[in-house]
Amino acid sequence: MANQLKLSNVIFGIGDTVAVSCKVKEGEKERLQVFEGVVIAIRGKGDTKSFIVRKMSAAIGIERIWPVNCPSIHSIKLIKSQPVRRAKLYYLRNRIGRLALRIENKGTKREIMKETAKPKTPEAKKEPSKETPKESVK
């Protein structure tokens, strides 16, 4: 239990891009491997809490599930944070290629209403032109 990561100082949520460094043991050697992807789900509570990270590798989606108190996790680094309106981003599984990385953020209803509303600005008053009157030829 002493070598487990305490995630109280790392705050991440659904839709955030994180880099999870986990320890990989190959024979006698041990190295760190970084898994960078989007958090698509967080489930459980307390000691049984786990999170799912999805990344795209050569147009193939790869998902890994980690318990929060996993001893093989060395560190978690928050790369990018995005607001989302879903608790689970399972719809990313049906996306192919570059669209699988794009998270739709339509914003809140108030933000959408503000964007679509026409700005109420007074029309600029037209100033009379200062052209010189043409002299008529007599």
Region for 127 from its dihedrals, namely left if φ exceeds 0, alpha if ψ lies in -120 to 50, beta otherwise: beta
**pLDDT value at residue 110:** 58
Kindly report the CATH number assigned to the domain that includes residue 87.
Answer: 2.30.30.790
| pTM of this structure | 0.64
**Residue at 102 is within a domain:** no
Residue 59 to residue 99: CA distance in whole angstroms: 10
**pLDDT value at residue 21:** 92
Tokens describing residue 55: 């990344």
**pLDDT value at residue 4:** 43
pLDDT tens, 30-57? 999 999 998 999 888 888 888 999 888 8
**What is the band of 87 on the pLDDT scale with cuts at 50, 70, 90?**
confident
Q: Are 76 and 21 in contact (CB under 8 A)?
A: yes
**What is the band of 83 on the pLDDT scale with cuts at 50, 70, 90?**
confident
**Residue at 107 is within a domain:** no
Work out how many domains the chain is built from and give that number.
1
**Residue at 117 is within a domain:** no
**Residue at 8 is within a domain:** yes
Instruction: Print the domain residue range for 55.
Output: 1-97
pLDDT tens, 96-124? 665 655 666 555 555 555 555 555 555 55
Amino acid at position 28, single letter: E
